[in-house]
Amino acid sequence: MSHHIVEFKNVSFLYPDGTEALRDISFRITHGESVGIIGANGAGKSTLLLHINGYLMPTSGTVNIGDLYLTRQTRQEIRRKVGVVFQNPDDQLFMPTVYEDVAFGPLNLGMDETAVRERVEYALNLVSGLELQNKPPHHLSCGQKSAVAIASVIAVEPDILAMDEPAANLDPRSRRLLINLLKTFEHSKIIASHDLDLIMDVCHRCIVIKEGTVVADGPVMEILTNKKLLEENHLELPLSLQRR
Amino acid sequence: MTFDEKYYNIGFLDQLAYKNTFVHRLDPRAKLIVTLLFLFTVVSFSKYEIAALLPFFLYPMLLMTIGEIPFMFIFKKVVFVSPFAVFIGIFNPLLDSGQVFIFSGLTISAGWLSFFSILIKFTLTVSTALLLVATTSFPGVCHALRQLGVPSLFVSQLLFLYRYIFVLMEETMCIVRARNMRSYGERGKDIRIFVRIVGILFIRTVERAERIYYAMLSRGFQGDMPSLKRFHIKTGDIVFALSVAVFLYFFRFYPATQILGRFVQGVFS
């Protein structure tokens, strides 16, 4: 079994317009860990996620995913290992029907049709969206869209799951279902979110990012109870810890 | 009609495709080929032909009845685009002033004949094309095109067009609403504001395209859209295609209305 690690070593990234989005960032996430990435708006969370499967290449430093160093040659291999779920499901669901969308990844892996069907049904079943399979994405509600977006990533059976604001736009019940679902996954998980309660429920570890650098990295309960640290980063205590 | 109403109206066309009737179950390829055949046959008539075109209404009418597509829906759509056909033919009565004899004592100009012929051909072709989409769904038509050998690049463009036209419309709808809510009267409806809205939409579209491309890449896209083979030609499809072909051939090459007319005359005399 390969080790599903994610390791950033002194990674910096400059956008073409000169904005420095990541500055000398280093961390290591080991197999099966679930990690929350939090920080103010514009702190670099999304840029960081874009590095995890090689959409952006670091300006300096190295990214190591499951014992593969990220280069232009290993990108395709890395994309099989890392599934990314985007904030806006409309960006993720680009095929005309739900079934075809979930089948997109497996088909690209060159699987045959019966195997693809099994994968799609398994993945849709997991997010309880099997009855949506013949619908076009624009007839789905927001919660259904996010569920399908997650299924479309799970269908590729990635080792590592990266998510950007998975619960944005979800109603409380859909959000709760999503949290329960995420808890059942044994993948390594990396979740960037402002929903600190979700992070607290799903993750064991938390990394705080500020202006492109890691300012804190530790067990989730330790970080999410540190009021001073959170407030310095435009955050506040998780709602469930605010009750007095 | 406001923008909101139009938006929901477009969505209705593909909800019709969810039905499960004989017409909906037919193989999309069969329906596509038959529709093309129908269009070519209708267009191939001479420009003064009217009587021989009338039997062709049978085909869209049958599709509509068996496929349970509401008549008014198709009718409204046809009327909506009809100005194009009307403008093409409107000057025919003036330009083409040759006299044509219809009944004893009644003559009209050949221009009127060709004008009505254009309108009939227009109604037949547009309603059949709409019925194809309403009974097959747009993606269904695209897959049929792909399997009939149309290049993948072209078909995927069509699929993306279909997928994102709704997203783009939703985005436009939000911007238009936001503008209307804060324009308190007419000032905000200025053309310059409109130009800016179009600009913003364009920028958002480019950004979205980039995110979509990223989503495709992260699921293993390497330049080729995979397609699923899902259709299998059944006997029903062949029977359908052949019978429509025979129907088209018969009404194209035999003056069916005249034969029927003579027959009726014979019965009464």
Return the residue of A nearest to B206 by Cα: A91
Show residues of chain A in contact with B215, CB under 8 Å: 84, 86, 91-92, 94
- A239 domain-assigned: no
Q: If phi over 0 gives left and psi between -120 and 50 gives alpha, with beta otherwise, what is residue A25?
A: beta
**Cβ contact B219–A152 (<8 Å):** yes
- A57 domain-assigned: yes
Q: Which long-range contacts (CB under 8 A, 24 or more apart) does B231-236 make?
A: B231/B27, B231/B28, B231/B29, B231/B143, B231/B144, B231/B147, B232/B27, B233/B27, B233/B29, B233/B30, B234/B27, B236/B22, B236/B25, B236/B26
pLDDT reported for residue B102: 65
B106-109/B99-103 β-pairing: antiparallel
**With pLDDT > 70 as the criterion, what percentage of chain A qualifies?**
98
Show residues of chain B in contact with A96, CB under 8 Å: 138-139, 142, 159, 162-163
Q: With a cut of 70, say whether residue A16 has pLDDT above it.
A: yes
pLDDT reported for residue A1: 45
Q: With a cut of 60, say whether residue A218 has pLDDT above it.
A: yes
pLDDT reported for residue B171: 84
Q: Hey, which bits of B35-109 come out as E strands?
A: 99-103, 106-109
Q: With a cut of 60, say whether residue A2 has pLDDT above it.
A: no
CA-based R_g, chain B, Å: 24
Per-residue b/e over A69-87, b at no fewer than 16 CB within 10 Å?
A: ebeeeeeeebbbbbbbbbb
Q: Give pLDDT tens digits along chain B (269 positions).
A: 456 666 666 667 777 888 888 888 888 888 999 999 999 999 888 888 888 888 889 899 998 999 888 888 888 888 888 888 888 888 887 787 777 766 666 777 788 888 888 999 999 999 999 999 888 888 888 888 888 888 888 888 888 888 888 888 888 888 877 777 776 666 656 777 788 888 888 888 888 888 888 888 888 887 777 776 666 778 888 888 888 888 888 888 877 777 777 888 887 77
The mean predicted confidence, pLDDT, of chain A is 88
Total-model pTM: 0.73
C-alpha B216/C-alpha A155 separation (Å) is 14
- A241 domain-assigned: no
Q: Cα-Cα-Cα-Cα dihedral of B128, B129, B131, B133, to 10°?
A: 160
pLDDT reported for residue B251: 83
pLDDT reported for residue B9: 66
Return the residue of B nearest to A90 by Cα: B167
Nearest CB among A79, A90, A136 relative to B220 is that of A79
What's the mean pLDDT in A81-90?
86
C-alpha B194/C-alpha A22 separation (Å) is 38
Provide the number of structural domains found in chain A: 1
- A240 domain-assigned: no
The vertex-A149 CA angle with A193 and A185, nearest 5°, equals 65
Q: Residue A91: give its domain's CATH number.
A: 3.40.50.300
What's the mean pLDDT in A186-197?
90
Summarised one tens digit per residue, pLDDT across range A158-175 is 889 999 888 887 888 888
* Cα A231 from chain centroid (whole Å): 24
Looking at per-residue pLDDT, the higher value among A26 and B50 belongs to A26
C-alpha B47/C-alpha B220 separation (Å) is 53
- A91 domain-assigned: yes
Any A CB within 8 A of B183 CB: no
Any A CB within 8 A of B212 CB: yes
Å from A198 to nearest chain B CA? 24
pLDDT reported for residue B123: 92
C-alpha B172/C-alpha A60 separation (Å) is 40
**Cβ contact B218–A108 (<8 Å):** no
Q: Which domain holds residue A146?
A: 6-233
Å from A3 to nearest chain B CA? 20
Q: Which residue has the tokens 């390791």?
A: A7
Show residues of chain A in contact with B159, CB under 8 Å: 95-96
Show residues of chain B in contact with A90, CB under 8 Å: 167, 208
Å from B224 to nearest chain A CA? 8
Mutate to test the interface with B, among A51, A81, A108 (most CBs of B within 10 A): A108
Return the residue of A nearest to B138 by Cα: A96
- A10 domain-assigned: yes
